[in-house]
Amino acid sequence: MRKFRIVLAGHGTLPAALLATTELICGPVADAAAVGLEPTESPDHYTESLRDAIGHDGRRVLVLCDLLGGTPFNVASAIARRSPRVVCISGTSLAIAVEAALADGDLDDALVERLLEVGRSGIVETERHRARRAS
Amino acid sequence: MRNDRMSLRLVRIDDRLIHGQVVAGWLRALGAQRIVIVDDATAADEFLREVLSLAAPPGVPVEVLDLVGGAARCIDLAASQEPVIVLARSPRTVLALRQAGVPIEVVDLGGLGAGPGRRRLHRTISVSADELAELRELEQLGTRVEIRIVADDRPIALRSLDPAR
């Protein structure tokens, strides 16, 4: 059983869609939330929304962000730098979200490394991927 | 002929400083490999400086400078021809840079949030009366003031929206 919360953070409707799509693949995802940044929303307001989604119960939280340098990531990484229970990843793909949703146990270094690797290894171009697999 | 080589190509006013529109759009559009932020409050806050440096892609250094240091740095960068993005939170900072001798061809209004006492000029761009006066002063100093939220937008000249004109 997963022992941490997942918060999907990103621009517009992407986080909600990513959560819904993750659930298409792995069934209902417990203890997860999606927080989308609206075009006119201020960073301060988004910070409040993200803090609410992260919760104040001391649980560990994995925040999966869409874009390095985007406001959702900037806000999440500012929170993560100040609270060790929060881990923030950017460049989230469906593969990363699924891996996180299906994770068992704690949000530890090994899991974070695995999520980063799942993200990187999921980026391929068919011809190059085929050539590599054939060799 | 515009004096492209001796002036900063783009100084952007954006109260969020670095965010998605900047990293995903403007860096690429300008071919910039460096971000310079001029903001006294941010320069004095080590935590904010670190968070902003985390916001840039790998290989793109972020310099956060106060007004005095920023003006000197911008003058050097304008002469160097290196494509950079200069970011400030407010028109006041850009006016001060201009008055300190930084050659600025265009100021881009990229993000200025709404709020009490602020007039909405266009989509996500609102200004206070003071800010509008500072922007007009920049125009009088020969700097074009344009609204251009993302690089693909057609620039909208401030003078075409300015209620006093």
The answer to whether B51 contacts A77, with C-beta atoms less than 8 Å apart, is yes
Contacts of B16 in chain A (CB under 8 A): 43, 71, 74
CB burial class (10 A; 0-12, 13-18, 19+) of residue A94? Answer: middle
Q: Edge-to-edge strands of the sheet including B11-14?
A: B62-65, B35-38, B85-88, B11-14, B106-111, B144-147, B156-157
The pLDDT value recorded for residue B8 is 85
Among B19, B47, B57, the residue with its CB nearest the CB of A74 is: B19
C-alpha–C-alpha distance, residues B70 and A92, integer Å: 35
Instruction: State yes or no: pLDDT of B12 exceeds 90.
Output: yes
* Kind plus residue range of the DSSP H or E element containing A88: strand A86-89
CA B134 from centre of chain: 13
ipTM: 0.79
Q: What's the rounded Cα separation, in Å, for the pair A64 and A76? A: 9
Q: Quick one: pLDDT at residue A35?
A: 98
pTM: 0.87
Q: What integer pLDDT is reported at residue A42 of this predicted model?
A: 87
Please spell the DSSP secondary structure of A10-72, one letter per residue: EETTHHHHHHHHHHHHHS--SSEEEEEEPTT--HHHHHHHHHHHH-SS---EEEEESSTTSHH
Distance from CA of B76 to the nearest CA of A (A): 26
The predicted-structure confidence for B130-160, as pLDDT tens digits, reads as follows 999 999 999 999 999 999 999 999 999 998 9
pLDDT value for A12: 97
Distance from CA of B110 to the nearest CA of A (A): 13
Quick check: is B122 catalytic?
A: no
- Quick: pLDDT tens for A29-68: 999 999 999 988 888 999 999 999 999 999 999 999 999 9
> Residues of B103-134 as b/e, b for ≥16 C-beta within 10 angstroms?
bbbbbbbbbbbeeeebeebeebbbbbeebbeb
Structural domains for chain A: 5-134 (3.40.50.510)
pLDDT tens, B71-114?
999 999 999 988 999 999 999 999 999 999 999 999 999 999 88
Residue B161 pLDDT level (bands cut at 50, 70, 90): confident
Query: Which region holds residue B160: left if phi is over 0, alpha if psi is between -120 and 50, else beta?
Result: alpha
Q: Which domains does chain B possess?
A: 4-159 (3.40.35.10)
A2/A103 Cα distance (integer angstroms): 6
- Structure confidence by residue, pLDDT tens digits, B25-41: 999 898 899 999 999 99
